[in-house]
Amino acid sequence: MYIRKWSKLLFVLLALLSKESGAKTNSKNAVVEDIADFKDFKKLIRTKTNVLVLFVAGVKEAPVELKVFREAANVVRGTGTMVLIDCLQSERKKLCKKLKVSPNSYIFKHYKDGDFHKDYDRQVSVASMVNFMRNPTGDLPWEEDPEGADVLHFDDYKSFQRHMQKDTRPMLVMFYVPWCGYCKRLKPDYSKAATELKGKPYVIAAMDVERTENAPARRAYNITGFPTILYFERGQLKSTYEGDNNKEGIISFMKDPDAAPVQKEKEADWSADPNSEIVHLTSQGFEPALKDEKSVLVMFYAPWCGHCKRMKPEYEKAALTMKERKIPGVLAALDATKEKTIAAQFNVRGYPTLKYFVHGVYKFDVNVRDAAKIIEFMQDPKEPPPPPPPEKSWEEEEGSEVLFLNEENFNTLKRKKHALVMFYAPWCGHCKKTKPEFNAAAEALKDDPRIVLAAVDCTKQQNLCKSHGVNGYPTIVYFSYLKTKADYSGGRSSKDFISYMTNPNLSASEPVHVKHKVDEL
């Protein structure tokens, strides 16, 4: 009898434990839901630098939005924090009132670095929320802009390949990066062309190749400048688009891609301008023209060079001012694409290049672009100071707590529970901006033996970077004992790095980071 009672009791206890254990195991909720006090809320947004809050007037008022919110929260773990506050609950009414939030049904608000940043005003979709949380201060992604709705946006290179296999329609693809000025200027016309061609047997598409998952496209099509626009037929690359960068040019090309591009009106030859105050030089007259002049500044240019075109009116303005104010000296110009021998003689490698001569003898290069600076120089022509000595490599800098890795010592990460590795190139501008923040984070975390912030110079350790699928710089990757690997896609401030590496979830048996497949070089 006693045995039966104890067995029954044991069965109940085991069932309860199993239920509780199962609840913990299956829980995938990454949304913070226990904030009810104003002080706790302020503490949260101070310690978590990237916070999106969903305020609801009862959870039943926003079932779709809440579902999307929870799914996005699971994706951005380690990058941002998602918080749910039900303003209808009695214990949270005071908090909502204090924050001056009174949702009719729901409202999203973003908090950054301890303060309110902005209302979330993008699409209520997982992709949009994830994009926003990864870069809350960035521009609206093109694929979310209503004007670009008729452009086919490829999320990744694999979806591009799948499309190529099943859709044989003629397709124009613009490969771009969000920060590119030329890309930004072309987007409106490209979007309008897509809208006008909607319903026709053509595809107007685009791909953001700054994303790591799209790096294979850059390699496959040797994309080195932006935008690069390629034309495909029956899933095969046929040509590079060389028409006008406007709606009309794109539409005309798609309707007849084999037609020769319309010849743009030829620009007038600068040297043929009768109103020019510039002395235009040629190979034959170069030495005689300069020999008798005490002070001459020569602009070596190419007619197609955008920087030269922008400088030309400034150069003309400076020459006219010098004439009016009787400032001694001559401003001259030479078309380096025509006079290649002279350009090679003076080692001209880029445009515009400005060189200063005295009685035909070259003295030094000058770096001035606007009229005021040109005039200032010609009034008192002095050689610019020598360039600063080359920067020390990051590894040579003193005082850094960053561990620099190579093929020999990379396996030492097996002893570290939490390692954040920055794969970089010394010439990379984004790497240079990130470096001091990474240093500061390494300094702040140096006393924790479980944590290390490390770096790999990919110009020196090419095989190591290739083995870890590095396709762009900086690529930042999290490792745990070298058994767990996850891409880091959070912010690049020291606070972001510190917050990520001290996230208590990192101590869990399974990492909270979003995992991505690594593309092999």
Q: How do residues 446-494 score in pLDDT, each as one tens digit? A: 999 999 999 999 989 988 998 898 888 899 999 999 999 999 988 999 9
pLDDT at 337 over 60: yes
Q: Is 87 annotated in the active site?
A: no
Q: What percent of the chain has pLDDT over 70?
A: 89
Query: pLDDT-derived band of residue 307, with 50, 70 and 90 as boundaries?
Result: confident
- The one catalytic residue in 87, 96, 183, 431 is 431
Q: Whole-prediction pTM value?
A: 0.43
Helical spans, DSSP H, in 141-291: 157-166, 181-196, 215-220, 247-255, 286-291
What is the pLDDT at residue 365? 93
Read off the amino acid at residue 221: Y
Give the lowest-confidence range in 33-47, 245-259, 264-278: 264-278
CB 314 within 8 A of CB 373: no
pLDDT at 7 over 80: no
Query: pLDDT-derived band of residue 137, with 50, 70 and 90 as boundaries?
Result: confident
CB 474 within 8 A of CB 423: yes
CB 227 within 8 A of CB 217: no
Q: Residue 48 and residue 30: Cα distance in Å, rounded?
A: 14
CA atoms within 13 A on the CB side of 146: 3
In the numeric block, the tokens 């490792």 are attached to 479
What is the pLDDT at residue 37? 92
Find, among 423, 421, 422, 412, the residue nearest to 481 by Cα.
412
- Three-state secondary structure call for residue 229: strand
Instruction: Please work out, in degrees rounded to the nearest 5, the angle formed at the alpha carbon of residue 36 by the alpha carbons of 35 and 39.
Output: 85
Average pLDDT score over the chain? 86
User: Which residue would you say has higher pLDDT here, 272 or 492?
Assistant: 492
What is the pLDDT at residue 261? 58
Rg (CA), the chain: 31
CA 172 and chain centroid, separation: 23
Q: What is the tens place of the pLDDT at every residue in 86-111?
A: 999 988 999 999 999 999 899 999 99
Give the lowest-confidence range in 250-264, 350-364, 371-385, 463-477: 250-264
Query: pLDDT-derived band of residue 11, with 50, 70 and 90 as boundaries?
Result: very low
**What are 413's two structure tokens?**
């990460």
Query: pLDDT-derived band of residue 312, with 50, 70 and 90 as boundaries?
Result: very high
Find, among 184, 195, 196, the residue nearest to 150 by Cα.
195
**What are 66's two structure tokens?**
């809440």
Contacts of 389 by beta carbon, 8 Å cutoff, 6+ apart: none
pLDDT at 65 over 80: yes
pLDDT at 519 over 50: no
Query: What is the pLDDT averaged over residues 246-252?
Result: 93
CB 122 within 8 A of CB 109: no
Query: What is the pLDDT averaged over residues 20-42?
Result: 70
Query: What is the pLDDT averaged over residues 57-81?
Result: 90
Which DSSP helix (H) or strand (E) runs through 418?
A: strand 418-424
CB 471 within 8 A of CB 462: no
User: Which residue would you say has higher pLDDT here, 518 or 424?
Assistant: 424
- The one catalytic residue in 96, 183, 308, 465 is 308
Q: Is 96 annotated in the active site?
A: no
Phi, psi dihedrals of residue 16, rounded to the nearest 5°: -65, -45
Residue 169's alpha-carbon distances to 133, 196, 200, 236, in angstroms, are: 36, 16, 10, 10
What is the pLDDT at residue 388? 66
Residue 209's alpha-carbon distances to 156, 177, 422, in angstroms, are: 9, 6, 20
CB 201 within 8 A of CB 170: yes
CB 282 within 8 A of CB 348: no
CA atoms within 13 A on the CB side of 86: 14
What is the pLDDT at residue 29? 73
pLDDT at 223 over 90: no
**What are 342's two structure tokens?**
């002279």
What is the pLDDT at residue 244? 84
pLDDT at 126 over 60: yes
